[in-house]
Amino acid sequence: MDVLVTHQLNALNGSLVKLSCTFTSCYKVDNSKFAMNWTYQESLNDTSEMMFMTYKHRITPLRTERFQDRVMFAGNLDKNDVSVTISDVQLSDEGIYNCYVRNPPDRQQGHGIIKLVVLTELPPPRDSTIAVAIGASVGGVLAVLILSMVVVKCVRRKRKQELISDEQKIEEEGKTDGEGGAEEGTKHVYSLPEDTY
């Protein structure tokens, strides 16, 4: 048997909250054998559980000082639903709610645990425009940084290429100058001595 619950619920003080508990079983519910209990405990570490609703042949809400008559059965046994509602939720209702289900001949007992948190006011709605503005500004700054880095890199590369081409020109000019000097050096002017005439 599996019991399905919402493990944590938030409820506004003074509102109505539904503690949803459904179960799956290999066997159809037999009202004469089926059993269900709802209990409350202040925390998971609390060893004492206070029963506030039970089913043995019929649904029986148990009147307690804590809940008085604020708990109602909101399920449907034909649909394997044993949910309950608590009206006019109080701060003292915060705690752990246990949903126990037994459906013979299924041997296992199902157990669902719900943590109820009672809020004094609803949390403020998230303003998505602020998030969008922040995201856009951060994206813009990153785009500018990337663009500037690309420009700097391109400028540096261009300068490097210019320097290389300048060096190549200087080297080429040096080679041509050297070759010209060598040619001039190899030219010899031969003059015959005057006494040979």
DSSP 8-state secondary structure symbol assigned to residue 195:
G
* CATH architecture, domain 2-119: Sandwich (2.60)
Flag whether pLDDT at 125 surpasses 80: no
129 vs 81, more confident? 81
pLDDT in tens, 37-59: 999 999 988 889 999 999 988 99
% of the chain at pLDDT higher than 90:
48
Report yes or no: 99 and 18 within 8 Å, Cβ to Cβ: no
Element (H, E) at 155: helix 128-186
By mean pLDDT, which of 5-9, 56-60, 68-72, 161-165 is the weakest?
A: 161-165
Distance CA 29, CA 128 (A): 48
Structure tokens at 11: 């409820």
Burial class (CB in 10 A: 0-12, 13-18, 19+), 74: middle
Q: pTM of the predicted model, to two decimals?
A: 0.61
Q: What are the residue boundaries of the structural domains of the chain, listed by start?
A: 2-119, 131-166
Nearest to 107 by CA among 15, 27, 23: 27
- Residue 14's region, left for phi above 0, alpha for psi from -120 to 50, else beta, is left
Mean pLDDT confidence for 103-117: 94
Cis previous bond, 104, omega within 30: no
Q: How far is CA 184 from the centre of its chain?
A: 83
- Number of H helices and E strands in the chain, helices first, is 1, 11
Strands 17-19 and 84-86: antiparallel
Tokens 């159809």 correspond to what residue? 28
pLDDT score, position 73: 96
4 vs 167, more confident? 4
Which 3 state secondary structure label does DSSP give 161? helix
Report yes or no: 16 and 85 within 8 Å, Cβ to Cβ: yes
Which 3 state secondary structure label does DSSP give 119? strand
Strands 35-41 and 50-56: antiparallel
Distance CA 3, CA 105 (A): 16
